[in-house]
Amino acid sequence: MTEIIYKKLSYKVNGAAFETQNTLGRYRGHGQYVDKLESALLKNGLKCSREVPLAPSFQAEKKNRNIPDLVVEGEEGRLVIEVKAKRILTKKDYFQLQRYLASGNFRLGILLNFRQYCLKPKRIINSEYKR
């Protein structure tokens, strides 16, 4: 049987994301989506930090290279959220979230593109996660 990583936390995050898109629609700016999503997450009792730089992931890496939109903490653990407001997601967007997962040693990340007609949260799992 396959384990769903952070099932309850993901459910709350996705609910906040759908609330955000239902409230703002598809044609707002990136910052507006992050503002509303952060507000919805806090309203649902989740701790979240916005644009906090992650520690360097290797010795020669300069500071402030990896800055995710949101880091959310719940009872099950913590995850990273990357928000986009563009017509389509690209490989570059997935790679960006994977960098955050590796740098912060997150187990799960969620990629949200609010410009799509139907919001489809993408769950990205860190295959290199260390407990």
What range does the domain containing 31 cover?
7-125
pLDDT digits (tens, 9 = 90+) for 17-51: 999 999 999 999 999 999 999 999 999 999 999 99
Sign of the dihedral defined by the CA atoms of residues 93, 95, 43, 22, in that order? positive
What contacts 45, CB < 8 A, 6 or more positions away?
none
- The DSSP code for 86 is S
- The DSSP code for 107 is S
Residue 130 maps to a domain: no
CATH code of residue 57: 3.90.320.10
Taking the C-alpha atoms of residue 114 and residue 74, their distance in angstroms, rounded to an integer, is 23
What is the count of structural domains for the chain? 1
pLDDT digits (tens, 9 = 90+) for 79-97: 999 999 999 999 999 999 9
pLDDT at 2 over 80: no
Assign 50 to helix, strand or coil.
strand
- Read off the pTM: 0.93
- The predicted model gives 60-89 an average pLDDT of 93
As a residue count, the chain comes to 131
Residue 15 maps to a domain: yes
Residue 1 maps to a domain: no
